[in-house]
């Protein structure tokens, strides 16, 4: 059978393809050795290619490549030896590419999670010939585990080390600094206020785990308890979300995963610099910022918003509306559709 490969810039981006890998197997193409150990433990040495050249593949690589990165400096040079599928790893408010060379034409197919994704690709396709023939409607791959309740709450609580299970678990999941994440701006207030009544679980972007040292120093100096710092590479995203009673978030893909739980959400107001202003990106029917109270770090009391959100859950209908507008299907079978398509395509490529 023709080979199946996976390719991403960072380890966390592989979160979209683990069900596909478990079903079909495949090999991973790495361009940087710092992710080697993590993948080695996950898939074994025989399933890894460490290849530093970002644009040219090793001679032995031919077949179908699933890619989790959309980046103009990370594209593959076209050859007749492979076909590639883009599974973009982002679902948040989209970055404005400001007319830069958007490499949409460098992918043979796109696994599309829903209308929001479709409009993004279409907007940046610039009239690409046969665009719609490249679109494969799959649904949101990461939602399957949530919809099918494929998570373990008791073991996750134990692994994180939650001491007081009578408190609500408030998960704060800011995006990274270059995405205008609010971790350094808000952690002192959140650690001080939220822990008066609840457990505070902080799960930052993998690129910003280095900032945990400031939080540890602060909670130690002020003798604050009931704060838990989550290593995103140690606790799976779905298990982490499953134990939360409320999520505090920003502009990130994780917010859209949370919609499938239907639980309360609070959005931190952050900079809109560099965000896409096009109509496809700003429609309210796609906006997680319409799915919960918006928190202003300058003057809002976060505990009041938490209590109002949990006790009354006033955004239930809007959460459902945005979820259904953003994604196709929502039936828990996105990975099944992806696997069936991949199997059929690989047979055609033999």
DSSP string, 73-92: TSPPPP-TTEEEEE-----S
Number of H helices, E strands in the chain: 14, 13
**Block residue for tokens 């030896």:** 81
Identify the three-state secondary structure at position 39. Answer: helix
Please give the domain boundaries of the chain with CATH numbers for all domains: 3-140+330-349 (3.40.50.11820), 150-326 (3.40.50.2000)
Rounded-to-integer distance, Cα 7 and Cα 64, Å: 11
Q: Residue 301 burial by CB count (10 A; 0-12/13-18/19+): exposed, middle or buried?
A: exposed
12-38 b/e (C-beta count within 10 Å ≥ 16 → b): bbbbbbbbbbeebebbbbbbeeebeee
**How much is the CA Rg of the chain, to the nearest whole Å?**
21
**Block residue for tokens 């949370």:** 258
- Nearest by Cα to 255 from 287, 297, 296: 287
Model pLDDT, residue 173: 96
Note the pTM of the prediction, 2 decimals: 0.93
Instruction: Please provide the size of the chain in residues.
Output: 350
Q: How far is CA 78 from the centre of its chain?
A: 27
Identify the three-state secondary structure at position 243. Answer: coil
Model pLDDT, residue 2: 54
What is the full per-residue pLDDT of the chain (350 aa) written as tens digits? 459 999 988 888 899 999 999 999 999 988 777 767 888 888 998 998 877 666 777 777 789 999 987 766 677 777 888 999 999 776 654 665 554 455 666 789 999 999 998 988 888 777 777 889 999 999 999 999 999 999 999 999 999 999 999 999 999 999 887 777 889 999 999 999 999 999 999 999 998 999 999 999 999 999 999 999 999 989 999 999 999 999 999 888 899 999 999 999 999 988 777 677 777 778 899 999 999 999 988 877 899 999 999 999 999 999 999 999 999 999 999 999 999 999 999 999 87
Model pLDDT, residue 199: 98
């Amino acid at each position: 059978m023709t080979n199946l490969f996976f390719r991403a810039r960072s380890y966390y981006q592989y979160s979209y393809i683990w069900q596909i890998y478990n079903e079909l197997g495949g090999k991973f193409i790495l361009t940087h050795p710092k992710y080697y150990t993590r993948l080695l433990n996950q898939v074994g040495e025989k399933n890894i290619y460490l290849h530093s050249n970002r644009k040219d593949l090793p001679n032995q690589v031919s077949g179908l490549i699933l890619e989790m990165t959309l980046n103009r400096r990370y594209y593959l040079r076209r050859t007749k030896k492979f076909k590639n599928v883009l599974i973009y790893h982002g679902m948040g408010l989209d970055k404005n590419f400001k007319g830069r060379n958007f490499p949409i034409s460098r992918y043979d197919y796109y696994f599309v999670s829903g209308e929001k994704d479709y409009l993004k690709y279409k907007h940046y396709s610039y009239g690409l010939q046969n665009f719609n023939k490249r679109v494969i409607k799959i649904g949101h791959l990461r939602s399957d585990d949530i919809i099918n309740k494929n998570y373990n709450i008791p073991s996750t609580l134990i692994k994180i080390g939650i001491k007081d299970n009578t408190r609500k678990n408030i998960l704060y999941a800011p995006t990274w600094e270059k995405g205008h994440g609010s971790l350094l701006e808000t952690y002192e207030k959140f650690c001080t206020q939220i822990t008066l009544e609840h457990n505070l679980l902080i799960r930052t972007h993998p690129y910003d785990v280095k900032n945990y040292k400031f939080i540890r120093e602060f909670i130690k100096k002020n003798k604050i308890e009931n704060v838990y710092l989550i290593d995103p590479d140690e606790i799976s995203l779905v298990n982490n979300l499953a134990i939360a009673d409320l999520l505090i978030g920003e502009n990130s893909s994780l917010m859209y995963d949370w919609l499938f739980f239907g639980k309360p959400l609070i959005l931190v107001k952050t900079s809109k610099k560099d965000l896409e202003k096009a109509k496809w990106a700003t429609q309210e029917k796609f906006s997680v910022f319409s799915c919960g109270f918006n928190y202003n770090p300058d003057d809002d009391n976060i505990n009041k918003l938490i209590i109002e959100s949990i006790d009354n859950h006033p955004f239930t209908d809007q959460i459902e509306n945005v979820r259904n507008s953003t994604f196709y299907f929502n039936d828990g079978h996105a990975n099944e559709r992806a696997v069936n398509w991949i199997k059929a395509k690989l047979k055609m490529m033999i």
